[in-house]
Amino acid sequence: MEKKAKSLIVRNLHKSFRLPHERHSSLKQAVLNLHKRRFENFHVLKKIDFEVNEGEFFGIVGRNGSGKSTLLKLIAGIYVPSSGSITVNGRLTPFIELGVGFNQELTGRDNIFLNGAILGLSTKEIKQKYHEIVAFAELERFMDQKLKNYSSGMQVRLAFSVAIQAKTGILLLDEVLAVGDSNFQKKCFDVFKDIKKRGRTVILVTHDMGAVQNFCDRAMLIDSGEIVAIGKSGKVAQAYNELNLEQNIKSEQKTKKQKNAKQHGGNEIKIVSCESTLHGRKQRIFKPNQKIGLRVIYKATATIDNPIFGITVKDLMGRPLFATNSKAKKQKTGVIKPGQTVTVEFEMDNILSDGTYTVSPAVANESATIFYDWIEEMTKFDVSGWDFPAALLQPAHELTIKKD
Amino acid sequence: MNRLSSHYYLIKQLVITDFKLRYQGSVLGYIWSLARPLMLFGVLYVVFAHFFQFGDGIPNYPTYLLLGLVLWTYFIEATNMSLGAIVGRGDLIRKVSIPKYTIVLSASISALVNLTLNLVVVGIFMMITGVDIRWEILTLPCWIFLLFILATSLGYILAAMFVKYRDISHIWEVVLQAMFYATPFIYPLALVPEQFRNWLMINPLAYVVQEARYAVITPATVRTGDIVTSWVAWVPIITIALIALFAYWYFRKTAPYFAEDL
C-alpha cells in the first residue's frame, strides 16, 4: 500500500499548566512571595501520539474538560507543548473559534477586512472575495451596519463565510456545528462536504456524534488527557457514548440519595419503586432489538377506588417523548385496599435512538383531578448500539431503491 | 504569499481598526488628539514664557516648546498604548495564533501616525512664526526613528510585563511624570545647576528631543554633545540600543506563554 502523506504528526505530546496556589497579579505579591513559590502542576495532556493524513477529515471527541480544546490550541500554535512535538505540513488556519477579533463597534465590511487579515489574507485577496463572502453569509443589506446591531446568528454566518476563505491546507474547527439556524447549518454541512471533496485536511472538535459519523474518516476520543480510542469514526462514536453512559450512571448514583424534589400528591397511595426491565429483570442499557420494560410498584395506605396509573418517558432535555396510563389503555384498576401493593408492568418495542431517557411515574384518582403521587424523572435508562443514531427516533421502517 | 507580507497586512488592518475606533462617534475626530499637546502647550507657554520668562535665551521659544510637547505626547501615547495592547487583545491571543509582536507594533505605529499629523501642525506654526528652515531639518526622520525605537522597545517590555503584573500601568504613570521633568521640555538648560546637566543630557529622551529641536527650530538649542564629551556623548544611543536588545529578548521569551498567562 502506498504510504500517505501526513498533514499532522503529533509525537509524545505532554502539556501541563502551572497553577500557582495563590496567583500573584501584582508586583507586591510577587516580591512578598518570592521565597515561597508554590505551584501545582496540572497535567492536561499525557502521551498524545497520533497522525492525520493529508486530505483526511479527522474528528477529536471527548467530554468537557478532557483536554481536547487544549490539544486543538496546541496544534494551532496558541499554546506551546511542555514536551513532545507537533509537526504540521502545510499551512494551518490559525483560529479555533469563529469570529475571533470581531469588533462590535465596526461595520460588517470593516470586520471582514480585519478578520481576513487575522486569518492571513491580504487586502487585495479580501477585496476579490468580498462579494462571495457577503453573498454566502446572506448579509448584503447589512454590510454598512455596525456588528453590534447584528443578531448572533448573523455574526456567526459572517464569521463562517470569512473563515472558509482562508486558503490553508489544514482547517481547524472547534464546535462550529452548534450554531446558526437549521438552514445555515445545512449550508455549513454542504461546505464541509465540498471541503472534503477538495481534499483539504480538516480537524474537527465536537460533541456531535452525528457530525463525526457523517463527515469524519477517522476520529480520536480523549478522556482525562489521554487517548482512549482512535480509528474509524463509527467505533470512536460508540466508545464516546459508552464513556458517557458510565459517567451518567456514576453521577446518578450520587444524586439519587438526595431524593427527587419534584413530588406532588397526598398520602393515599405512594410510589415505592420504578425500574427499567428486560424480560422482567432489571436492566439499565437496552440494545436496539430489545424490548424496553418498565415496572412501577405502588403501596396504598387508604382505600382508593379505580385510580389511574401513568408513566411519562422524557429525553435528557426534559422533552416528553411519550406518555401512557391505565385509563388510556382502558384498564379497570378496581378498589385498592390499605396495605395493598400494586405492580404496573409496561413493555414496548425499542424505537428510541441512542441516548439516556428518564421515567416519571404517577398515580391519580379516577377523574385525574387529584394526583396521589407523581415523581419526576425517578429512573433513567439508556439505549445504545444503533448504526445511525443521528435522530431521536428509530421506528421500524422500509427503504426501497428503484433504478430505471 | 509569504509570512512577512501577511504580517504587514495584519498590522495595517490593526492600525486602521484602531483609528476607526478611536475617532468613532466623536464629531471633531482627529482634532481631539491634537487638543492634548495644544492645550498643554497653551498653558505652559503662558506660564513659563510670560510669567517666568524661560524662553528669553531661546529664539522661537513657542515653536521650540510646541515641538518638544508634540514629541512628548507621542512618547506617552506610544508607550501607554503598547502597554495595554497585549492585555487588551487577550481575547484574540487566546483564540488565534497570531504573531504577538504585530499587536504591540501596530499600537506603536498608531501613535506614530498621530505624531506625523501633529508634526504637520508644528510645520504650520513654524511658517506663521517665521522659523528659518535649515538643511539640518532633513535629519528629523533620524531623530523620530530613534524616538520610535525607544518608545516601541519600552512598549514591548511594558506590554509583556503587564500580562503578569498589573501594577506596571501605575508604575509607568509615575515614571512618565518623572521623565517629563527630567527632560528639558519647558525649562532652558541654563537654569539647571551645572553638576546635574550631564546627568540630564545623557537621558535618551532629552538627547532625541534636543537633537530634533536643533534640526528643526534653532541652532541655539543645547545638545548632548555640548554638555558632555568623548564617549559619554554616546551614552544615549547605547542606552537605546540596550533597551531595544532587552525588549527583543524579553518579549521573545515571554510571548509564547501570553495565551496561558492572560
CATH code for the domain of A20: 3.40.50.300
In a domain, A257, yes or no: no
Cell of A70: 487544549
In order along its 404 residues, chain A shows pLDDT tens digits of: 445 688 889 999 998 887 766 655 666 666 666 555 566 778 888 889 999 988 888 989 888 778 888 888 898 888 889 889 898 887 777 666 777 778 888 888 988 988 888 888 888 888 998 998 888 888 888 888 888 888 877 888 888 888 877 766 788 877 665 555 666 667 777 777 777 777 788 888 887 777 787 778 899 999 888 888 898 888 888 888 778 777 776 766 655 544 444 445 567 888 888 889 988 888 888 888 889 999 999 988 888 888 999 999 988 777 788 888 888 888 888 888 888 889 999 988 888 888 888 898 988 888 877 888 888 888 888 888 888 877 888 888 888 999 88
Q: What is the CATH number of the domain that holds A286?
A: 2.70.50.60
Boundary-marking domain end, from A182, A215, A248: A248
Pairing label, strands A304-305, A281-282? unpaired
Rounded Cα distance, A328 and A152, in Å: 45
Looking at the structure, do residues A234 and A273 belong to the same domain, yes or no? Answer: no
Neighboring chain B residues of A30 at a CB cutoff of 8 Å: 164-165
**A277 with A306, same domain?**
yes
User: Is A308 a member of any domain?
Assistant: yes
| B144–chain A Cβ distance below 8 A for any pair | no
| CB contact (8 A) between residue B5 and residue A122 | yes
Q: Are residues A206 and A298 in the same domain?
A: no
Q: Does B2 touch chain A (CB under 8 A)?
A: no
| A179 in the same domain as A327 | no
CA terminus-to-terminus distance, chain B: 31
A269 and A362 inside one domain:
yes
Q: Determine contact: B194 vs chain A, CB below 8 A.
A: no
Collapsing DSSP states into helix, strand and coil, what is residue B83? helix
Residues A269 and A357 in one domain: yes
Q: Assess contact for A144 and A108: CB atoms under 8 A.
A: yes
| A281 lies in the same domain as A242 | no
| Chain A residues whose beta carbon lies within 8 Å of the beta carbon of residue B85 | none
Spell out the residues 6+ positions from residue B77 whose beta carbon is closer than 8 angstroms to its own.
B111, B114
B165 vs A: CB within 8 A: yes
- The x, y and z cell numbers of residue B166, run together, are 498589573
pLDDT tens-digit profile of B30-70? 777 778 778 888 888 888 888 887 777 778 888 888 899 99
Are residues B10 and A95, on separate chains, in Cβ contact within 8 Å?
A: no
Instruction: Give the integer Cα–Cα distance in Å for A95 and B124.
Output: 47
**Do A215 and A323 share a structural domain?**
no
**Does any CB of chain A come closer than 8 Å to the CB of residue B24?**
yes
Are residues A178 and A309 located together in one domain of the fold? Answer: no
A chain contacts of residue B5, beta-carbon cutoff 8 Å: 122
Residue A225 Ramachandran class (φ > 0 left, ψ -120 to 50 alpha, else beta) = left
ipTM reported for the complex, 2 dp: 0.80
When scoring A113, A118, A128 by the number of chain B Cβ atoms within 10 A, the one with the most, hence best to mutate, is A118
**Spatial distance between the Cα atoms of B56 and A341, rounded to a whole number of angstroms:** 110
DSSP summary character for residue A340: -
Question: Residue B172 pLDDT more than 70?
Answer: yes
Closest CA to B95 of A45, A61, A101, A63: A101
Q: Is A102 part of a structural domain of the chain? A: no
Count of CB atoms within 10 A of residue A299's CB? Answer: 16
Q: Is residue A41 part of a domain?
A: yes
The total number of structural domains in chain A stands at 2
In this complex, which of A24, A103, A123 lies closest to B17 when CB atoms are compared? A103
pLDDT in tens, B92-129: 888 888 889 999 999 999 999 989 988 988 998 888 88
Could you tell me whether strands A83-88 and A6-20 are parallel, antiparallel, or unpaired per DSSP bridges? antiparallel
pLDDT at B207: 93
Closest by CA position to B214, among listed B147, B138, B145: B138
State in Å, rounded, how far the first CA of chain A is from the last one. Answer: 38
Q: What is the 3-state secondary structure (H, E, C) of B24-71?
A: CCCCCCCHHHHHHHHHHHHHHHHHHHHHCCHHHHCCCHHHHHHHHHHH
Domain presence at residue A30:
yes
* Residue A96 belongs to a domain: no
What is the tens place of the pLDDT at every residue in B132-162?
A: 889 999 999 999 999 999 999 999 999 999 9
Phi, psi (deg, nearest 5) at residue A346: -135, 145
Q: For residue A50, is it within any domain?
A: yes
What confidence tens digit (pLDDT) does each residue in B228-252 have?
Answer: 877 888 999 999 999 999 999 999 9
pTM of the model: 0.73
* Cβ partners under 8 Å of residue B199, min gap 6: none
Q: Which residues of A touch B165 (CB under 8 A)?
A: 24-27, 30
Query: Does residue A330 share a domain with residue A367?
Result: yes
Q: Which of B9, B87, B100, B106 to mutate to test the interface with A (most CBs of A within 10 A)?
A: B9
Closest residue in A to B171 (Cα) is: A27
Domain assignment of residue A373, given as a range:
262-383
- Does residue A330 or residue B208 have the better pLDDT? B208
Q: Which of A248, A277, A304 is the last residue of a domain?
A: A248
Clarify whether residues A234 and A290 are in a common domain.
Answer: no
Task: Decide if A81 is inside a domain.
Answer: yes
Which of A199, A214, A248 is where one domain is finished? A248
DSSP per position, A130-153: HHHHHHHHT-GGGTTSBGGGS-HH
Beta bridge partners of A311: A324, A361
Quick one: A13 and A79 in the same domain? yes
